[in-house]
Amino acid sequence: MRILFYINAIFYALILLSYLIESYTFYGLIGQFFFGIFQFVLGLHLATMSNNYSEKVRSFIGYYWLSVLIYIPTMVGLLLLIEGSIISDVNKVFAIILMIIAPMLIATFFIRILYLIQKS
């Protein structure tokens, strides 16, 4: 699990770095998409193995899945609103910011879970 923690931390740092360099923002978005898929699959694995972890880690895994299950329908709905031009241009900018920040917050929490697992 230690290797997965380091892989996640390195990819997370690279994605953040790509957002800080303006000309690489697009690569950050692409990387974030694949990073999210990787964390989703790894999260499924952690959920099936949760009996092996402490109570704190099990509850954190539950919170992770709750945040993912809230985030996905919210973003799908937001994308449908943007596509239908129901919301204004100012809100489109806000929506794009949420599409970058919210998944990175979930990724931060997931890395915290991996840290707790590899620490124990």
The better pLDDT of the pair 101, 92 is held by 101
Q: Please tell me the distance from the alpha carbon of residue 62 to that of residue 74, in angstroms, as a whole number.
A: 19
Q: Please tell me the distance from the alpha carbon of residue 37 to that of residue 28, in angstroms, as a whole number.
A: 14
Helix and strand element counts for the chain (H, E): 4, 0
Summarised one tens digit per residue, pLDDT across range 3-26 is 999 999 999 999 999 988 888 888
For the chain, the structural domain boundaries read: 2-119
Summarised one tens digit per residue, pLDDT across range 20-56 is 888 888 888 899 999 999 999 999 999 998 888 989 9
> Residue 76: its pLDDT value, please?
81
Low-confidence winner among 3-17, 28-42, 84-98, 103-117 (lowest mean pLDDT): 84-98
